[in-house]
Amino acid sequence: MKVKNPWHRPLIIFIAAVIGAGIIIMVVIAVVQNKPLYQKYKYGIVLDAGSSHTSVYIYEWPAEKENNTGMVNQKHACNVKGKGISSYSGTPQKAGESLKECMDEAKKTIPNYRHHETPVYLGATAGMRLLEMENKIASGEVLKSVEKSLQAYPFSYQGARIISGQEEGAFGWITVNYLSENFRTASGTVGALDLGGASTQITFVSEGILESPENSIDFRLYGNDYHLYTHSFLCYGKDQVLKLSLEKQIQSKLNMTDNIILEDPCFHPDYNVIKSFQSVFDSPCVKKVDQSQKENTFSHKGTGNWNKCQEAIKKVFNTSYCRFSRCSFNDVFQPPVEGQFGLKQNHPEVKEKYLAEYCFSGTYIITLLEEGYGFTSKDWKNTKFIKNIRDSEAGWTLGYMLNLTNMIPAEAPDTPLMPYGGYVSLMLVLSLLIFVFLILGFIFFRRPSCPAHKEII
């Protein structure tokens, strides 16, 4: 008679129970491990203090993914009411006060527990560059006023300063390429064009030798080297160019004794506005008019003629002199434009206050690109007019914050072989298999070789 191994049955039951429990524990761990976690965000605030107005941008990114590309998004934008901070040169304390509404909004938008670690930066552009040139004390007071106002908030204040034209161009380029995820892909980068009210920037990767060091800037981002050409033309933003072009027309009529009537081909034929000399001559971009003329007015009448408008605008670019092997205009070195371009454009929907100047602005953009930067019909096909990329505005502010918070590493971070969830699951399956084989091996090798010979006495 065959005798059953007395401990065989309970052992099998025990082993089956252990394996069953093991499987359940592993499945639970795998499920819990891979369940989508509640995403925690971090925040950053950048104020773009432009010549015409100030905007407050709030950025957010998943707390644990700071160095991954494309992770930072614009959460909120607020347009400060009124003009740019440089317009408060006579009443500096009002510059700080003007930011209050948007900063209060920022306080509500960002969760309270993150306030103290949220950096706030203010960067002022061409309007303040011009004020600094004209009246350094006034520009200093305006900056102090905005600083005082920002320091009153619970955020981590990181400074208010006038950024250079080179920074404005380079950070605009970083923003566009970061949002387009061009840094870690083989697609290459796009050049960046930005037309502001008081300055305009052009930035692109150039293979050629850059003859003027002030136009050259190098970055190492995610393990790649980028050799950039960048230039910011102060006074060539659209508001200042309009003043320049009016000034040229007024100067030619100054010796007239009668009221000055400017017939302007860049404005539509129904346009007829009385303007003060002061509104044209209040800027360091235009030649000063003699004091006795300051109180004068002129009548600005549109005639609506595109060809004549372009002829008039061409006159603001000086191409008669160049110290380098080649120039864009005004003796500024520029290599031939390369690759695709994104031009930052403001709201495509037409607002009343900008409508009258649209003909002038459109003609200026075309003339700047073709006559100024040397774009040809081939480059036009490669040029996109953009306001937003993935709901984030394509200006310099995001690039500025990414740079100051070191969120774009010089070297590409090492990426693990597989995602964390996949790794955990694979390890579980492999350990389960090893466990099962161990048990099977144990059962087979410990089994008595000839149980039939054994007898119970």
If contact means CB under 5 to 8 A according to the sort of partner, which of ligand IDP, Ca ion, none does residue 167 touch?
none
Of these residues, 168, 211, 247, 349, which one is catalytic?
168
Rounded to 10 degrees, the C-alpha dihedral 373/204/85/274 comes to: 20
Place of tokens 């466990």: 435
Do 81 and 126 touch, CB atoms closer than 8 A? Answer: no
x/- mask, ligand IDP, residues 69-108, rule CB under 6 A, reads ---------------x------------------------
By beta-carbon proximity to ligand IDP, the closer residue of 132 and 239 is 239
Q: Is 207 a catalytic residue?
A: no
Q: Mark 336-356 as b/e (b = at least 16 C-beta within 10 Å).
A: ebeebbbbbbbeeeeeeeeeb
Helix (H) or strand (E) holding 192: strand 191-195
If contact means CB under 5 to 8 A according to the sort of partner, which of ligand IDP, Ca ion, none does residue 126 touch?
ligand IDP
Tell whether residue 200 is among the known ligand binding residues.
yes
Q: Which two tokens stand for residue 169?
A: 């161009």
Amino acid at 409: P
Q: Which of 122, 92, 124, 111 is nearest to 154 (CA)?
A: 111
Q: Which of 82, 72, 13 is nearest to 41 (CA)?
A: 72
Tell whether residue 397 is among the known ligand binding residues.
no
By beta-carbon proximity to Ca ion, the closer residue of 163 and 316 is 163
Task: Determine, following the binding rule CB under 5 A, whether residue 50 of this chain makes contact with Ca ion.
Answer: yes
Q: Which stretch binds ligand IDP (CB under 6 A): 191-199, 204-212, 317-325, 327-335?
A: 191-199
Task: Determine, following the binding rule CB under 5 A, whether residue 127 of this chain makes contact with Ca ion.
Answer: no
Q: How far is the CB of 127 from ligand IDP (least distance, A)?
A: 5
If contact means CB under 5 to 8 A according to the sort of partner, which of Ca ion, ligand IDP, none does residue 84 touch?
ligand IDP
Do 422 and 381 touch, CB atoms closer than 8 A? Answer: no
Place of tokens 């950096």: 119
Residues 329 to 388: which contact ligand IDP by CB under 6 A? 346-347, 351, 354
| DSSP label of 346 | -
Q: Which residues here bind ligand IDP, judged by CB under 6 A? A: 50-53, 84, 125-127, 196-199, 237-239, 346-347, 351, 354
Please list the active-site residues.
168
Binding site for Ca ion (CB under 5 A): 50, 196
